[in-house]
Amino acid sequence: MFDLSIAHIARVSMHFLDHEDDNAELHLTDEAMVLHDNEASSLLHQYTLKPFMNFEDYQSFTYHNGDATLNPLSIMAGHMFKQEEPFHNVSKRIAQHLFQQSTHQNIKSGDLIIALIQDVTYEDEVIDAIGIWKSETKDDFLKLLYNDGSYSIDSDKGVNINKLDKGCIIFNTAASAGYVVASVDRTDKSGGAKFWNDQFLKVKPLDDAFHETQQYLNMAQTFVSHRMSEDVEMNKGEQLGILNDAGAFFKKNDRYSEDQFQQEVLGGDERVIKSFQNYKQEYAQELQVDLPEQFGISNLAVKRSAKDFKSVLKLDKNFHVYIHGDRKMIEHGRDEMGRKFYKLYYEEES
């Protein structure tokens, strides 16, 4: 969606959030940084932009009343893009906003980097973006110093450029809908770590093919695996056959059509379709998501969910049967001695 291969950091400001003790403090710098060292600039570029090079899971700003333009970060990003006030001044307000949201006891101290990114390619346009990154983890490293025929060893702490803790990029497009945001949070998800997306950024999934496909895949997988057999009597082989057909449906089609899904995957069975519709409604209400009856299917979302649609029939400790195709080629029954069995039909073996 966005190409960062020729993008570069044009301006950068840094501030420090100190949460080491009960007296948390925000340390704001007086002016923006000036990067004179080309090697340091290259490493900063790798640290901040590389995690977003092949990004797909985009989001957008939201707000409690539904008007994304009132989101504080959306407003401040707009000021930066329009150059309505000095960049460094706005960076201070972003730091203050983050500090105000960082109230959980598990939130760590960290260096905050805020940058203007230029030459981002979006479709046929070149646009700007705003990057916000928080570095919370410092790694130990050795400095091996050679001088006049001898070595000395020293130690220090620094940022691992291959381990971004938290970061986001706000792209200058779709401003009225809350911009397009790419967010990364690789810290522990326990405790207060979710504050980055939930409290600070206040973002929601972008209403695009990736999220629509992802939601439907999750819903279909949980329905077939857990709910369907409660409402409709069927054996495990039939259940796994439907799970396999559901995964295959998303793989082979470019668009989702609910009528087509109900006929091809659910077999047009009114009992199963009714169970599916009831579960879909419950799922949408519980997670507060929209599940449209038609949408474009994202191949990336399908690939990421492939492991959830593996159909393996486990029979006691003796057999594992992998169901890959037509579920009509497997039958379930019970012999005269009461033993359960599956009958498999095939044309050739390999």
| Length in residues, the chain | 350
pLDDT for the residue 133: 98
Of the chain, the end-to-end C-alpha distance in Å amounts to 42
AA identity, residue 95: A
**Helix 236-252 to helix 209-222 angle, to the nearest 10 degrees?**
170
pLDDT for the residue 192: 47
pLDDT above 70 covers a percentage of the chain that reads 89
The per-residue pLDDT of the chain, averaged, comes to: 87
Confidence label for 310 from pLDDT (cuts 50, 70 and 90):
low
Contact 245, 265 (CB under 8 A): yes
Q: Distance between CA atoms of 131 and 116, rounded to whole angstroms?
A: 6
User: pLDDT digit string (tens) for 96-132?
Assistant: 999 999 888 888 899 999 999 999 999 889 999 999 9
Task: For residue 98, give Cα distances in angstroms to 26, 80, 209.
Answer: 10, 17, 31
CA 269 to chain centroid? 35
pLDDT for the residue 52: 95
Confidence label for 329 from pLDDT (cuts 50, 70 and 90):
low
CA-based max dimension of the chain: 91
Q: Distance between CA atoms of 1 and 180, rounded to whole angstroms?
A: 10
β-bridge mates for residue 13, sequence order: 114
Contact 144, 21 (CB under 8 A): no
pTM for the complete prediction?
A: 0.68
Residue 280: exposure state from Cβ atoms within 10 A (0-12, 13-18, ≥19): middle
Residue 291: exposure state from Cβ atoms within 10 A (0-12, 13-18, ≥19): middle
Q: Pick the more confident residue, 325 or 344.
A: 344
- Sequence-separated (6 or more) residues with CB below 8 Å from residue 145: 151, 152, 153, 154
